[in-house]
Amino acid sequence: MYRALSRVVVALLVVVQVYPLVWLFVSSVRTEGDFASANPFALPTSFTLDNFTRAFEHAALGRYILNSLVVTAGADALIVVCGMMGAYAIQVLGFRFSNAVRALFLLGIVVPVQIALVPLFIDYAKVGLLDTYPAMMIPLAGFGLPMSLYLFSSFFSYIPKETYEAASLDGAGPYRIFARITLPLSVNTIVTVVMVNSIFIWNDFIFANTFVFSEGLKTIPVGLQNYIGAMGKTDWTATFAGVCVTVTPLLLVFLVLNKSMIYGLESGATKG
């Protein structure tokens, strides 16, 4: 009975997660007339690929994808490097008040993003960082760091201390231990941290919309505003086609790295 109930719950969760994607791809190949006149949630009665052509005509999708890739890669790199090194110092090396430092980092999880917009805008204006890639990367990395540090720290607690002690007896210093032992063992956790944060970074709108002004630096969420025409009229089928184009790279990477991500979540978060 319990197993059957669990399967039903899992099936419902899968439907809830997968249905929006299926509906998005189906709507992207419907004609404008079919989508406007018929039930938008019904199966399409016509098929067209012209929506994808109009999607590239309305906006510079290639440029938006490139900008999102640059911001996502840069923010992920900062999160992984800072998160790993911070967790290594707190969990493995240890120091006085390390638990207090860990708690201080974890407090960042409850800090709302909106509270940082005005202070960051003022600071960026003073140092000339407005309308640049780092203007988006830095806050995204900062808000993604607490959870990443928690995952790395939890995973590092699984590594036996005897492994580090043996390496120290062989003459390895903390940097060599980190590079030769901790880093290779953390591959699955790194994949998990990258994927979890990439989803939020790829979809970020608030930082890109606040700190970026030029068309050439717009990311996908901000660039999709170009599909809104005069008087608020939106070309919905072209918009859906544009979203399909922009979401496909992240979806493919997620499917390829899915096993590593699941393993990283299990090994890096269960004990914590």
Q: Tens of pLDDT along 232-247?
A: 567 788 888 888 888 8
State the Cα–Cα distance between residues 41 and 193, nearest whole angstrom. 35
The pLDDT value recorded for residue 212 is: 92
Q: Is the predicted pLDDT of residue 130 greater than 90, yes or no? A: yes
> Is 242 domain-assigned?
yes
Non-local CB neighbours of 10 within 8 Å, separated by 6+ positions: none
State the Cα–Cα distance between residues 57 and 239, nearest whole angstrom. 11
State the Cα–Cα distance between residues 4 and 199, nearest whole angstrom. 32
Q: Is the predicted pLDDT of residue 261 greater than 70, yes or no? A: no
Nearest Cα to Cα of residue 148 among 78, 83, 98, 236? 83
Q: Per the structure, how many domains does the chain have? A: 1
Over residues 141-162, mean pLDDT = 88
Non-local CB neighbours of 173 within 8 Å, separated by 6+ positions: none
> Is 52 domain-assigned?
no
The pLDDT value recorded for residue 269 is: 46
What's the CATH code of the domain at 218?
Answer: 1.10.3720.10
Range of the domain at 89: 61-269
State the Cα–Cα distance between residues 69 and 27, nearest whole angstrom. 25
> Is 117 domain-assigned?
yes
Q: Tens of pLDDT along 193-216?
A: 988 898 889 989 999 999 999 988
State the Cα–Cα distance between residues 197 and 150, nearest whole angstrom. 13
Confidence of residue 271 (pLDDT cuts 50, 70, 90): very low
> Is 54 domain-assigned?
no
Q: Within 10 A of 55 (CB to CB), how many other CB atoms are there?
A: 24
> Is 260 domain-assigned?
yes
Non-local CB neighbours of 80 within 8 Å, separated by 6+ positions: 148, 190, 193, 194
> Is 85 domain-assigned?
yes
State the Cα–Cα distance between residues 204 and 209, nearest whole angstrom. 9
Angle at 238 between CA 232 and CA 242, to 5 degrees: 110
> Is 49 domain-assigned?
no
For the question of whether the overall pTM of this predicted structure is more than 0.85, the answer is no
In the 8-state DSSP scheme, what is residue 20?
A: H
CA distances from 20 to 30, 41, 198 (A): 16, 10, 19
> Is 77 domain-assigned?
yes
